[in-house]
Structure 1
Amino acid sequence: MGHGGNVIEELMADHREVEEMFARIQAMTGSGQQLRDLIDEITIELVRHSVAEEQYLYPAVREHVEGGGLMADKELEDHGRVEKILKQLEKMDTDDTRMSTVLHQLMQEVASHVQDEENNLFPMLRRACSPEQLDDLGDKIRRAKAMAPTRPHPAAPSTPMASKLLAPGAGLVDRARDFVTGRGKS
């Protein structure tokens, strides 16, 4: 969840972690509880990552990067699509015939989003911000991920202020639900 380093290093480490989880799913031959546990793990990581980006990364992009408003809006649209897919997966049984298709859709959406951030947004942010600003953003991202929800909430507002106000409460409720059910403990 927290890897250390500046904002770009932190988020890229998250990207590699999710890619590794996707590779584990692709290597699976069955379904059942093992698949559900891995989907839950991916969901937890993606939701925490997205909330932190919405609270701190995209506002910084809007502030420091030329044309950053349009870039941030596009990334938020990506998050919305991913969150809807995650919500769909949360409701599906692992033996549902559509599971493979929906997982593939999730992997494609996330891969496209990661590629865009790493090839476009991150280099522009690195040029626009000082090392100190990037380090500070990394710290903020790690704190936000620690407090973020662990379940998709596609209807929740994605503005930075609303997210900062609502995410800790939703995160507390999600973590309590996870504790009771044992979700995310594998």
Structure 2
Amino acid sequence: MGHGGNVVQELTTDHREVEQLFGRIEALPPGSPQRRELADEVTIELVRHSVAEEAYLYPAVRKHLDGGDALADKELEDHAQAEQIMKDLEGLAPDDSRFDTLMARLTSEIRSHLTDEERNLFPRLEAACSPDALMDLGDKVRRAKKTAPTRPHPSAPDTPPANKLLAPGTGLVDRMRDALSGRGKGS
């Protein structure tokens, strides 16, 4: 499954990629330096994915679904918890005992979140929106991921319009930091 298509197809592809990264991390022995590299990769992907969802998916959920405000608020709460875990994980050496604890917590929370989106939110959105609207959302999500931050910023705004205004600038700074440090270029 490649990137492209409607918003559900795009985000589901992201979910599979994150799941593969989690599997690779879990397959490595504790303390392996490659676990740090893969944790950075999964963080980059999750942050980009979350920023795109917050900018476009959740506003669509609020607009098109009955109970959409409560559903979007719950999703944003899930994102905030995951982002804080990623922030706590940032910079920890893979042989630090907190690394494995935080990685296991992140993996568990993200897997639960992805399952919930795929079983509940996505089918409801597909039923409520036209194919053209879903395709348009997919295009917007792909564009947002290209300029999104790559590092967790727990105190950054997570709702429009502030998140749409600040994310590209923050993303540029993050990508410059990543390029200088080599972060995300491992394995």
* TM-score normalised according to structure 2 size: 0.96
Could you tell me the percent identity over the aligned residues? 63
CA distance in 2, matches of 1:87, 1:130: 37
Quote the residue 1:145 is aligned against: 145
CA distance in 1, matches of 2:22, 2:180: 26
Is 1:100 the counterpart of 2:100 in the alignment? Answer: yes
Is 1:50 the counterpart of 2:50 in the alignment? Answer: yes
CA displacement at 1:101 relative to structure 2? 1.2
Structure 1: gaps of 5 or more residues:
none
CA distance in 2, matches of 1:157, 1:7: 22
CA displacement at 1:45 relative to structure 2? 0.0
Quote the residue 2:21 is aligned against: 21
Number of residue pairs aligned between Structure 1 and Structure 2: 185
Secondary structure of 1:103's aligned partner: helix
Quote the residue 2:185 is aligned against: 185
Q: CA RMSD in A?
A: 1.0
CA displacement at 1:48 relative to structure 2? 0.1
* CA deviation map 1:74-101 (0-9, x unaligned): 0000000000000011031211112111
Quote the residue 2:65 is aligned against: 65
Runs of 4+ in 1 over 4 A off after TM superposition: none
CA distance in 2, matches of 1:156, 1:87: 12
Quote the residue 1:83 is aligned against: 83
